[in-house]
Amino acid sequence: MGDNERLTLTILETARLLGCSRGLAYELASQGKIPVIRVGQKRLLVPRKSLEDFLAGKWQPAQAGVTTEKVR
């Protein structure tokens, strides 16, 4: 990861990286299949490292600050 890359991604950015729709990305987050951090009541962020680990099959839900709880 370069110095100019952010540590988190929006759901839309995550969807683009995964090659799926924004709606599907939200659905995957609500099912706990994408690791998310809830910021406030509405904003969801996906930690870049957790997404990389998730895609590599190494992601663990117990990682600090990351949840798989259902989101709306």
* Calpha distance 21→40 (Å, rounded): 23
By residue range, what is the domain housing residue 49?
1-72
Residue 15 predicted with pLDDT over 90: yes
- What is the model's pTM? 0.71
CA angle 16, 46, 42 (to 5 degrees): 100
For the chain, how long is the longest CA-to-CA vector?
A: 32
Q: How many whole angstroms separate alpha carbon 54 and alpha carbon 72?
A: 21
State the residue for tokens 């870049």: 48
Domains: count for the chain: 1
pLDDT of residue 64: 43
Report DSSP state, residue 67: B
pLDDT band at 67 (very low <50, low <70, confident <90, very high): low
The per-residue pLDDT for 24 is: 94
Average pLDDT over residues 31-38: 87
